[in-house]
Amino acid sequence: MAETTDAVTTIPVTGTQPQENYDVLIGHGLLARLPEILGPRAQRVLVVHPRALRSTGELVMNDLRTAGYESFSAEIPDAEEGKHVQVAAFCWQVLGQNDFTRSDVVISVGGGAVSDVAGFVAATWLRGVRVVHIPTTLLGMVDAAVGGKTGINTAEGKNLVGSFHPPAAVLCDLGTLLTLPVNELLAGMAEVIKCGFIADPEILRIVEENPERVRDSQSAVVRELIERAVRVKAEIVSQDLKESGRREFLNYGHTLGHAIELAERYQWRHGAAVSVGMVFVAELAAAAGNLDEEVVHRTRRILESLGLPVSYRGDRWKQLSDAMHRDKKTRGNLLRFVVLDAVGSPRIMEVPDESILFATYQEIADEG
């Protein structure tokens, strides 16, 4: 259970090794917690941030210097453009030029793409240094920053190169969401809704009954949704760090979603692509006779109420199919999808016959 003290909610993530244990803090004014997290052994801290958050990165560095740490900046391209090996190499160069040791720390400030690449840099520098994530987007808070997955993209697909490297802490400062455009907030809600379908149906009820408050990043409703989504992920990750079991359920909607992102050259928001992916797997489960049609309709209703897409271009199937066959979840030639038997009851479905997938895709295809 999470403990709430002075309006800061602490959600623990545990693992099989001590270094896999950490806390996710949710609240306001969390930068003040950094010195106690970093501790006295660290001397140098690299703050990795996108160009769009230069002022926030400088604020974090100034706080660190005031606390007695040497702080350095690695400014990287925004969003998915930052998730390339050349960007990781730039960060390694900064670490090397400034004599970072195994007791020093990397901090990510930004969305999911930043925590992915900063985590990968930390995992690979000296075979592993500590990383602290300060997510500034809803997507980062409920998904990318929690769980220890790190990765970069290649021309062949998303996150095909990466490692598992749990952070030392995750600081979800709700105040950072104030500058987040509403469409970015709602795109991040796709990952929250995913958690509702696979594990916590109460999330779905809250979204359905509070359409306006879901659009206010500082509302109590949004905070509860963040906390519920983080609890879902923390509970699953604590049982399965390296995706050998239940953790695969967190990929609900992601197989097709990642393929759409690749087809769009990462110009689509991750949450928008996952939204379409969730409709696709709901249709797939219904077509197989395993899921009630009402769950499919509910999926569409909830996502459409947030302005999220529920269809994609009908002329892109071949490209999407090729991308899905390169997905990490594929086993041999068998495509694997997370599907539902009911809300809160996910399972893995292997699909040997691609004609079933093509027929299902027609249910979400538009004429674009």
Annotated ligand binding at 114? The verdict is: yes
Annotated ligand binding at 84? The verdict is: no
Band of pLDDT at residue 3, cut at 50, 70 and 90: very low
Annotated ligand binding at 14? The verdict is: no
**Which residues are 361's β-sheet partners?**
none
Q: Average of pLDDT values for 23-31? A: 96
Task: Please write the tens of the pLDDT for every residue from 188-220.
Answer: 999 999 999 999 999 999 999 998 999 999 999
Q: Which two tokens stand for residue 153?
A: 């993209």
What pLDDT is recorded for position 223?
98
Give residue limits of the domains in the chain: 3-179, 182-216+219-366
What pLDDT is recorded for position 317?
96
Task: Please write the tens of the pLDDT for every residue from 265-287.
Answer: 889 999 999 999 999 999 999 99
Is residue 112 scored above 70 in pLDDT? yes
Annotated ligand binding at 177? The verdict is: yes
Q: Are 198 and 340 in contact (CB under 8 A)?
A: yes
Q: Average of pLDDT values for 87-110? A: 97
CATH 3.40.50.1970 fits 3-179, yes or no: yes
DSSP one-letter code for 367: -
Architecture of domain 182-216+219-366: Up-down Bundle (1.20)
Annotated ligand binding at 176? The verdict is: yes
Distance CA 177, CA 147 (A): 21
Is residue 29 scored above 50 in pLDDT? yes
Is residue 290 scored above 90 in pLDDT? yes
Is residue 8 scored above 70 in pLDDT? yes
Annotated ligand binding at 150? The verdict is: no
Annotated ligand binding at 79? The verdict is: yes
What pLDDT is recorded for position 18?
85
Distance CA 100, CA 125 (A): 9
> Lowest-pLDDT range, 96-110, 272-286, 289-303, 316-330?
316-330
What crossing angle do the helices spanning 112-124 and 85-97 adopt, rounded to 10°?
50
What pLDDT is recorded for position 1?
39
Pairing state between β 365-366 and 312-313: parallel
Q: Which two tokens stand for residue 252?
A: 């609900």
**Do 3-179 and 182-216+219-366 come out as alike in CATH topology?**
no
Is residue 6 scored above 70 in pLDDT? no
Annotated ligand binding at 322? The verdict is: no
Is residue 340 scored above 50 in pLDDT? yes
Annotated ligand binding at 328? The verdict is: no
- Phi, psi values for residue 146, rounded to 5°: -105, 130
- Four-residue CA torsion sign, 13, 16, 17, 20: negative
Annotated ligand binding at 136? The verdict is: yes
- Residues counted in the chain: 368
Active site amino acids: 127, 149, 191, 233, 243, 247, 251, 254, 258, 270
Q: Which two tokens stand for residue 179?
A: 């500058």
Q: What is the number of other CB atoms lying within 10 angstroms of the CB of residue 102? A: 11
Q: Average of pLDDT values for 25-36? A: 94
pTM over 0.75: yes
Task: Please write the tens of the pLDDT for every residue from 163-187.
Answer: 999 999 999 999 999 989 999 999 9
For residue 235, what is the enclosing H or E element?
helix 220-239
For the chain, give percent helix, strand, coil, nearest 5: 50, 20, 25
